[in-house]
Chains A and B, each alone.
Chain A
Amino acid sequence: GAVVSQHPSWVICKSGTSVKIECRSLDFQATTMFWYRQFPKQSLMLMATSNEGSKATYEQGVEKDKFLINHASLTLSTLTVTSAHPEDSSFYICSARDNRNEAFFGQGTRLTVV
């Protein structure tokens, strides 16, 4: 199957700082990528849909000014958590859709805000 790479795998940051997470499709072009968040013992919750060259579409309750998404190329989408707070600590997962419309997931990024 297609490979989606997320970086970093884990990050610890101080409250008030910003953190950028990268999601790359390594062997295919992805016009659409999805960002999910997963809290402990819970399921994945969709945060936003990222479309190459256009603004992301955010799910209800997700602050677009706090979770900045950039999808500037067909192989890279970034999620920046701005002014992070401890409640933003979570497992962030990206997914990229290939030209057959199948979704492949990154390995996830564990963010801890201290």
Chain B
Amino acid sequence: DAKTTQPPSMDCAEGRAANLPCNHSTISGNEYVYWYRQIHSQGPQYIIHGLKNNETNEMASLIITEDRKSSTLILPHATLRDTAVYYCIVRVGGGNAGNMLTFGGGTRLMVKP
């Protein structure tokens, strides 16, 4: 699976949008971009994933650049409960390609009042 690069930490004011960047310049054509988050002392929680189109769900939006070498996870109105480590992972989606998730360092998002 392709390697990702994320800033180690970010701060965001409560109620503002949190924009978390991820670089994945070596992503392959069949690899999806996945985002998970891990709140302290809990297991990772799935947020969103996409291949090349922008995606939105009830939790977040995912913006993928046209060349697919980077993406941004957007939490439109961050709350204190969004404080967590956010992991950007690229992996082959569907089929039976192993598909264990390889976690990098992630971004520690601190939402402040």
User: Chain A: residues with CB nearer than 8 A to chain B?
Assistant: 1, 4, 6, 32, 34, 36, 43-46, 49, 91, 93-95, 97, 100-108, 110
Contacts and interface: CB of A to CB of B under 8 A. Distances in A.
B46 A110 contact: no
Contact of B105 (A43, A91, A104, A106): A43
Given A95-B101, A101-B94, A44 B44 contact: yes
29 contacts: A1-B46, A6-B43, A32-B99, A34-B100, A36-B103, A45-B103, A46-B100, A46-B102, A49-B98, A49-B100, A93-B43, A95-B43, A101-B93, A101-B96, A102-B46, A103-B46, A103-B99, A103-B100, A103-B101, A104-B46, A105-B36, A105-B43, A105-B44, A105-B46, A106-B43, A107-B42, A107-B43, A108-B42, A110-B41
Contacts of A4: 43
